[in-house]
Amino acid sequence: MNIPSLLIAFSLFFVAATSVNANPGRDAVVTSRYYHSLISAPSPRLAELELFTTLLPKGADLHHHYDGSLYAENYLDWVEQQNGCIYRENNAVLKAEKFRIEMKPQDLPEAARRICLDAVTARSDSVFHQQLLQRWSVKDYGNHVHRQLPPDQHFFNTFQYFIPLLDFSSPAGLQILKQRALAENVQYLESVFAMAPVVENPLLAAKINALDPAASDAQTDEELSAYAAFIANDPQAQAAIRRYVQMANQAAAGIDDDRFKLRFHAFVFRGDQPARVFAGMAAAFAAAQASSRIVGVNIVGAENSPMAMRDYVLHMKMFRFLKRQYPKVKLSLHAGELALGMVPPEGLRHHVRDALLIAGADRIGHGADIAHETAAPDTLRLMRERGIPVEINLSSNAFILGLQGDAHPLPLYRQQRVPFVITSDDTGVSRNSLSREYLLFASRYRPSYAQLKNAVYATIRHSFLTDEEKQAEMAKLARRFAAFERQIADMVQAGGKMGRIAR
Ligand SMILES: [Zn+2]
């Protein structure tokens, strides 16, 4: 560079550096320094960090369950709108279970109707209302002594209460989730949305259900093959898949716009009988193949349940079988959502690796047991080399697994340069937000601002959007970051030098 061009470059830099408005370079530096001051104090400045992570562009939330992301209050509103009721006590004779929703009180016998509260009454009875929120979420679980189930059971039990409302609530619920996403600067949701339809064939099902866990791959594939052929040719099964796709399209109709995008995962429940899991999985793959709205297949439910533990490898073989038939369908699999003590140590040895190597997962959900897995160093290497990310859910791992702080494997994944994304899991049940997950990430693990930004960009990079869509979302994210850094820089400037007043 010669002297004149050096002078021009210098004066351009000077103009840029001194301009109060539109100075992205300055904004980024101020934002980075301010953020650093928040996390580097002996105890992180949480309130300021809370605002910072709330305003922070967060790209996508890639591990997000539709039903668990809505708050109990949303469900209660819908009980009211639909004139449903909620049982206020257990009664075996009347088949009443406290806190369960009944959508057609008019069809109940008089005695049952008397113990089923409408939503207005449920809300106005403060004791019952508190108990209801506690049962339908993790509210108050740890802050006072009361009779309660173990945390993992309590967490997974909540979902059963919402089932009666799911058909009714989808479009309204998705709108709530969209507004919530926009409010916390999230531009894309990949939501684990609805269970794939299960069409049964008792004869073929019996063969899959009778499969020995040690059966050869050839024998397993043979039984799966017969069931897959049935699903592919049965008019009822095909109609169920079409209805499922239509339902997903209708629920999300008109929701995408310039600021927000929504895609779904079809899912199966790992606590079901093997043949039911496979029937649902085959339908889920077919639906994902048929619809651009459904971008992936997932498997959910308590991984430590006896059935899920027994059939884990079989489930992975089912994924492998279907992935061969539908190579373009993407898989994000909950794998290794386990901690020592939930199951015997042998149960912690191979789930992440099997999801990766047998099922061919494109993303790993949780991966919390990795430090216990036999071939962990090699599995971590494979994830790094293949660019397979782990979806990190700090709040739900803390509650369900008791894993938090330094005990959580996130630092291990980061040390091994495995890609990761910060995700929310079930904000309604956990009564938190994606912003709070970023607050935990920043305050506990103290990533630099550049690392924090990288983690956000990773959410778009590892989404199941098409390459073209990803490019568009990346550009939007860059614009959001420019606006965010401007906002933070202005705020810091208004508050005085690095906001150090009164500290
Ligand atoms: Zn999950």
- Cα–Cα distance between 82 and 157 in angstroms, integer? 23
- Tens digits of pLDDT across the chain (503 residues): 444 444 444 344 333 344 445 688 999 999 999 999 999 988 889 999 999 999 999 999 999 999 999 999 999 999 999 999 999 999 999 999 999 999 999 999 999 999 999 999 999 999 999 999 989 988 888 877 777 888 888 888 888 888 888 777 889 999 999 999 999 999 999 999 999 999 999 999 999 999 987 899 999 999 999 999 999 999 999 999 999 999 999 999 999 999 999 999 999 999 999 999 999 999 999 999 999 999 999 999 999 999 999 999 999 999 999 999 999 999 999 999 999 999 999 999 999 999 999 999 999 999 999 999 999 999 999 999 999 999 999 999 999 999 988 899 999 999 999 999 999 999 998 899 999 999 999 999 999 999 999 999 999 999 999 999 999 999 999 999 999 999 999 999 998 765 554 44
- Write the single-letter amino acid at 272: D
397 C-alpha to center of ligand 1: Å? 10
What b/e string do you get for 333-354 counting C-beta neighbours within 10 Å, with b at 16 or more? Answer: bbbbbbbbebbeeebbbbbbbb
Determine if the pTM surpasses 0.85.
Answer: yes
Distance in Å, CA 301 to ligand 1 centroid: 8
What pLDDT digit, counting tens, does each position of 261-296 carry? 999 999 999 999 999 999 999 999 999 999 999 999
Residue 107 C-alpha from the chain's centroid:
37
In CATH terms, the fold of domain 160-465 is: TIM Barrel (3.20.20)
What's the gap in Å between 425 CA and the centre of ligand 1?
5
Q: What is the pLDDT of residue 22?
A: 64
* Centroid of ligand 1 to alpha carbon of 361 (angstroms): 15
- Residue 167 Cα to ligand 1 midpoint, Å, equals 20
How far apart are the CA of 423 and the centre of ligand 1, in A?
9
Are the C-beta atoms of 359 and 333 separated by less than 8 Å?
yes
Span from the CA of 336 to the centroid of ligand 1 (angstroms):
11
User: Where in the chain are the domains?
Assistant: 73-136, 160-465
- CA of 382 relative to ligand 1 center, distance in Å: 23
- Tell me how far the alpha carbon of residue 467 lies from the centroid of ligand 1, in angstroms: 25
| Dist. CA 483 → ligand 1 center (Å) | 31
Nearest CA-CA partner of 369 in 405, 395, 407, 399:
407
- Distance from the CA of 22 to the center of ligand 1, in angstroms? 41
Separation of CA 150 and ligand 1 centre (Å): 18
3-state secondary structure of 96: strand
Q: What distance in angstroms lies between residue 191's CA and the mean position of ligand 1's atoms?
A: 10
Cα-to-centroid distance, 396 and ligand 1 (Å): 8
Q: For residue 163, what pLDDT is reported?
A: 84
The CA 202 to ligand 1 mean position distance, Å, reads 30
CA of 78 to the centre of ligand 1 (A): 24
pLDDT of residue 10: 39
Q: How far is the CA of 330 from the centre of ligand 1 (A)?
A: 16
Question: What is the distance in A from the centroid of ligand 1 to the CA of 125?
Answer: 33
Residues with Cβ < 8 Å from 26, sequence gap 6 or more? 16, 17, 489
- CA–centroid distance, residue 266 to ligand 1 (Å): 13
Q: How many residues does the chain have?
A: 503
Q: Tokens 């039911």 correspond to what residue?
A: 276
Give the distance (Å) from ligand 1 centre to CA of residue 161: 17
What integer pLDDT is reported at residue 21 of this predicted model? Answer: 54
CA of 393 to the centre of ligand 1 (A): 8
Distances (CA, A) of 141 to 123, 136, 158, 207, 308: 20, 11, 13, 43, 26
CA of 331 to the centre of ligand 1 (A): 13
Ligand 1 centre distance from Cα of residue 441 (Å)? 18
CA of 497 to the centre of ligand 1 (A): 42
Q: Give the distance (Å) from ligand 1 centre to CA of residue 194.
A: 13
The reported pLDDT for the residue numbered 400 is 92
